[in-house]
Amino acid sequence: MRGKEIKNLRIVPFSVNHVNDAVRIEQVSFPTPWSYDAFISELKLRNTKALVALLSAEEGERVAGYILGRFAADEMEITNLAVHPELRRRGIARALLWHLVERVRSRGIKKIFLEVRENNKPAIRLYEKFGFKKVGIRRGYYVDTGEDALVMRLETE
């Protein structure tokens, strides 16, 4: 069953002010989470495009999820996408992915790549709905679990 769509959501550029929240989401989302320093390093790169989803509530805004990607020439690799577990299946990852694809498409990005754990069926379904196709497998890519990664590609033209 799909969760309730979230309407009070804003997608904005990811800034250093969002890093602590992103680290907390990382820690509850991944076996080997990115560190504070990893996010800071990524945000300093000129070829990084990063967005956060901010959820408005009575107590203020909170980071609900984020997406980061690196581009070179006319290609981009999505390096990280996560949504807080309590807020999944409500369209947040879809909104983040849509905003990133639209923003980089206007910059002339023609192909977007990503790796996803082969057992992460919800993420794979989301990527396939966007038109990503499986183009390869990286055996043992995730050293924390030994899982293979599916390599997926989206042609933006």
Query: Any idea which residues carry the catalytic annotation?
Result: 115, 127
Instruction: Give residues with Cβ within 8 angstroms of 29, minimum separation 6.
Output: 82, 83, 84, 85
For residue 50, the surrounding DSSP H or E stretch is strand 48-57
* 114 three-class SS: strand
Q: Which residue has 């980089």 as its token pair?
A: 104
Any idea what DSSP says for residue 59? T
* Spatial distance between the Cα atoms of 101 and 113, rounded to a whole number of angstroms: 11
Contact 44, 68 (CB under 8 A): no
